[in-house]
Amino acid sequence: MVNFKKARERMVQAQVMARGVHDERVLEAMRKVPRHLFVDEALRDQAYSDHPLPIAENQTISQPYIVGLMTESLELKGAEKVLEIGTGSGYQSAVLAELADRVFSIERHPELGYRANSILRNLGYDNVIIRVGDGSLGWPDDAPFDGIIVTAGTPMIPQPLIDQLAMGGRLIVPVGDRIAQDLILVQRGREGIKKTNLGGVRFVNLVGKWGWKE
Ligand code: SAH
């Protein structure tokens, strides 16, 4: 039987901090969220290892370091409204829920959306709202957002997401081909839109109007 709390601390130190994520609030959130409860029971012992893991519908829960890196890039202080595209297991949503005021998350597979919702409810995360649909269109009813995180790879940055970014807001999105992408940080400032490349990643495909076709 793995000691999950110890495994989580080791994960934070050896995988997340060691690779340069230093935002104390992000590290604290990752120490707290029980990642093993977001994966299949058979995979719980691997929940804190240094790689992504399969979830239902042929999708994956991201590698812990990538969750840390992407979350840190949003520079959340606590009062933000955040949008996530690709709820998947719900793990990233829980990390965001620890760090922001409200989290809106969209998943295209109903089954994943329902499951993530029930895990988040059981853990008491009442500041996360999950919707099933095409997240490449964003969530216009509740825009603008201070932070937007896309956890699936896309051939281009969906324009609706840029449009739904608040002044001073930050959007992090993997952009590239179906196999490999670059993490692009988009910041909306007074002088317009600024883009920074944070490096190479491999995500499952964003499937939707502004992503890939099936
Ligand atoms: N953030 C997730 C990672 C999930 S993998 C986690 O912490 O577990 C990416 C997810 O994006 C998959 O569940 C996939 O079904 C979903 N996805 C792909 N295209 C989408 C779209 N257009 N809208 C919403 N979700 C999408």
pTM of the model: 0.98
Q: Are 83 and 17 in contact (CB under 8 A)?
A: no
Q: Structural domains in the chain?
A: 4-201 (3.40.50.150)
Q: Could you read off the pLDDT of 27-57 as tens digits, one per residue?
A: 999 999 999 999 999 999 999 999 999 999 9
In the block, tokens 């996530």 appear at 84
Q: Which residues line ligand 1 (CB under 6 A)?
A: 57, 59-62, 85-86, 88-89, 91-92, 106-109, 112, 134-136, 151-152, 204, 206-208, 211
Share the mean pLDDT of the chain.
97
**Model confidence at 1, in pLDDT bands (50, 70, 90)?**
low
